[in-house]
Structure 1
Amino acid sequence: MPELPEVEATRLSFADRITGAGIVAAWCGKPLRWPLGLPVARLAGRTVRGVRRRGKYLLVDLDTGLLLLHLGMSGSLSFGAGLPPRGAHDHFELTTTHGTLRLNDPRRFGAVVWVPDEDAPLARKLLGGLGVEPLSEDFDAAGFHAALKTRKAAIKQVLLAGDVVVGVGNIYASEALFLAGIRPTLSAMRLSRPRAERLRAAIRDVLSRALAAGGTTLRNYSNAVGERGNFQFEAKVYGRDGQPCRVCGAAIKAIRQGQRATFFCPNCQKT
């Protein structure tokens, strides 16, 4: 958390309003995952050209260079005029002619990095290994199945790795595997072409519905204008350990995979 739907919902909540804004001042608090990459005062005077997303990264295009923002495990952005005074967990701020953009991150696993362009070494390091965007036309059945055939790891772990398809994340991987009827522990290379196609369709369906719901709020997620997500009320398996499956009535099970919780129905996801 936050995962792709939360990051995209955050982007949509402020991108149009900050585009064209001039940066009046910038501020950095406690260090985040990586250094900013330039003296923070040098951001003043630049103009915001737009905000894009790549996987779980937000790319804030400036007239000179761009900022890569990652929300980490607990980060969130706020944007607007008249924000309250900074708190203990506020770590980065852009004051612009259209409002203030502020990053709050209690666990400080997030990042704000300036790079001159996407070909810069650090940008290539952070973005270059990311897989295909799941909601794009590039996420095709043939390419997805071919990539899975090269992976021996459990399919849930392959989805989380982000180098085959990016941004699925823990919640939505569990939900997509349930929708596709695939056991999360199954080796990725054992998926047939039809099952890989069902999983591809399930990933797109789950992420699209989550985005329409504004993402998932389990603890403190909200978008840049303070709106919470509602997909948690639609979840079929995630967070429902011991509760009856909404399809067959069997008890939902929880296991640990790679130190992450995985939820599945032992009846609907037999293999």
Structure 2
Amino acid sequence: MRYFFHIGYSGTNYSGWQRHPYGLGVQQVLETSIKQVLKVPVNLVGCGRTDAGVHASQFFFHLDLEQEWAYDLLFRLNKVLPPDIAIFDIIPMEGLPHARFDATHRSYDYFIHTYKDPFLNDSSTLYLEPNLHLDKMKEATALLLKYTDYRAFCKTPAQHDNTICHITEAGWFADAQGGKLRFHISANRFVRRMIRLVVGKLLKVGSGTLSVAEFESYLATLQPPDAFSVAHPQGLYLSKVTYPYLDLPAKAGFATAFQSQGCSYWQAV
């Protein structure tokens, strides 16, 4: 039978979701832990990939098991897993749904703090620019919904069948003091490094080193910038994955210094 596992993880100590020969991935840790509990080798299929250092407050993988278990598997797995990986739900599925290919919608959040704070070091990106032009960043961000080809914001376009992404939401939020920022974006899919590349250029718009027109030129001409400005990984969270048959609310995020998406803590820019 196929099961969907609803999980979350802090990516600080990992080389990303996927198993790597050159670093420890979240997938490897989970496969080792599940094998330890079930006493059988397993192969996990994740809903996507995250880069080294990137977090997921909601993530799904599927796993096929021939026999059910006669104990509290959720409890046992969370007991053997490290503190930075949590399993929230184990969901039996009918048929053979696919955790990656069946996902219809994904959302990410990118957190920034503009003042030095040692307690945010692993959960948000420090950007020492307290006087960002948020109005210009908002103007540039609105352009994202007008275009569908993100070839100019893809690190490896040749490795993709296409670079078409249908963005449905994109916006900036700030706390009451303006020292913390959150960029939220949702789409049917994303190409490699797309969000971090977009955030990097939007921050240049905010600092005044890139105009809104220049930002739009990348979208319109599909020509990548001469130099990629990739935002740091620790501020990025995969925050929501939706399926036609499964739409679970995200559990409490790992970035406890921040509030949830719907909370009044965040005000739209």
Pairwise TM-score range, normalised by the shorter structure: 0.3 to 0.5
Q: Which protein has greater RCO, CA pairs closer than 8 Å, 6+ apart? A: 2
The normalised TM-score by structure 1 is: 0.33
The normalised TM-score by structure 2 is: 0.33
